[in-house]
Amino acid sequence: MTNRFIDLAASGLASLQPYVPGKPLSELEREFGITDSIKLASNENPLGPSPHAVDAIQAQLHDLTRYPDGGAFALRNALAAHHDVDPVCITVGNGSNDVLDMIARTFLGAGRESLFSQYAFAVYPLSSMAVGAKLTIAPAQDYGHDLDAMRALVNSDTGVIWIANPNNPSGTRVGRDALRAFIEDIPETVIVVVDEAYFEYVHADDYPDASQWLDEFPHLVVTRTFSKAYGLAALRVGYGLSHPDVADLLNRVRQPFNVDSLAQAGAIAALADREYLRRSVELNAAGMRQLVDGVERLGLAYIPSSGNFLTIDLGRESGPIDHALLQQGVITRPVGNYGLPHHLRVSVGLAYENERFLNALERVI
Ligand SMILES: *Cc1c(COP(=O)(O)O)cnc(C)c1O
């Protein structure tokens, strides 16, 4: 259906397909007449939040009449200490999606190009189109970023290059030498975003911590989040690490109170809870092995994943399988919207949830 106001709207919105979030659990249970469903659809942490984060949030509850600290002083100081950078390098966001959106609003616009890979994270095109930028999509290689193909598409209009490492929904990652050489090659007039939403899960020798390169590359922005390994997706906290001049611009477009006081307190406590992080990473590694073993037993192909999710090739349309899984109370994410109509993304859950998913999948295929 056409929207009667579309001609009045910013130019990129006519072709923008909005992000479709999963339905709430309660609504799906009502629709399918099921109870005790399990949700493995949004790459959330199955462990539940850090108890220290919950305590810190509870301690803030009496103060809800006050605006939060708009400069997120304590959170930025904690992050600065954690990353050994100056607090002026940090831009806080209402989730890291908010930081990605600030980057688009700051460095893109009509006449500028936004460059990312086929199968890259959905927020890159959304934020880019909202500001009227042109999308340039590099073909993927084995579902992952082909950095040479991306480099070849850089031109004088390119404003921002987005690299998710690891990427969602493919779970693929790029190695240290390749990524470093890529950033070295990109002119300083082009912002390179390395989105490290799943950073904490990856323990491979060749996996880079791009935040270590901030001193060398003033056009580099690294984003991180509390939504995944830190288990605080509901709070909406993420941040960008960059050269202070880039952070200064991002903070000019940032809404002054974008991270609320509960989120600031919870994030500070979660950052300090190294035991929680260790458990969440360990649980993910075990759950990933369980899912991979199970999927291999079923004879299905999958994209090897460095994240907290596995994207499985069903060899046929994922829609009907997704529907059949829902009827069994198992919520996963078909990724046809990413151009992967035969794939289904499943988030790593608790051991019993992974098992329930695998059993349900076996029944429906
Ligand atoms: C989940 C995810 C994010 C994080 O989003 P938040 O807004 O921080 O919750 C960012 N990038 C990618 C690739 C993701 O999958």
Delimit the domains of the chain by residue range: 7-48+275-364, 52-273
Confidence at residue 27, expressed as pLDDT on a 0 to 100 scale: 87
Question: Which ligand 1 atom lies nearest to the CA of residue 166?
Answer: 13
Q: Percentage of the chain surpassing pLDDT 70?
A: 100
The answer to whether 321 touches 289, Cβ cutoff 8 Å, is no
Task: Give me the CATH code for the 52-273 domain, please.
Answer: 3.40.640.10
Pocket test for ligand 1, best of 102, 121, 347 (most atoms within 8 A of CB): 121
Radius of gyration of the chain (CA): 20
Residue 21 pLDDT class (50, 70, 90 cuts): confident
Residue type for position 326: L
Q: Is the CB of 43 under 6 A from ligand 1?
A: yes
Paired sense of beta strands 220-225 and 238-242, if any: antiparallel
pLDDT at 43 over 90: yes
d(CA 67, CA 80): 23
Domain 7-48+275-364 has CATH 3.40.50.2300: no
Answer whether 7-48+275-364 and 52-273 agree in fold: no
Confidence at residue 44, expressed as pLDDT on a 0 to 100 scale: 96
Residue type for position 58: Q
pLDDT at 150 over 90: yes
pTM, entire model: 0.97
pLDDT at 23 over 80: no
Residue 26 pLDDT class (50, 70, 90 cuts): confident
Question: Which ligand 1 atom lies nearest to the CA of residue 169?
Answer: 15
Question: Which ligand 1 atom lies nearest to the CA of residue 225?
Answer: 8
d(CA 165, CA 261): 29
- Does 304 sit behind a cis peptide bond, omega within 30 degrees of 0 on the bond before it? no
pLDDT at 95 over 80: yes
pLDDT at 56 over 80: yes
- Sorted by sequence, the CB contacts under 8 Å of residue 189 that are 6+ apart come out as 219
What mean pLDDT comes out for the span 268-287? Answer: 98
Confidence at residue 18, expressed as pLDDT on a 0 to 100 scale: 83
- Does 166 sit behind a cis peptide bond, omega within 30 degrees of 0 on the bond before it? yes
Within the chain, how many helices (H) and strands (E) appear?
A: 12, 13
- Structure tokens, 158: 């390119």
d(CA 289, CA 157): 43
The answer to whether 342 touches 314, Cβ cutoff 8 Å, is yes
Q: How many CB atoms lie within 10 A of CB 301?
A: 12
Q: Is the CB of 166 under 6 A from ligand 1?
A: no
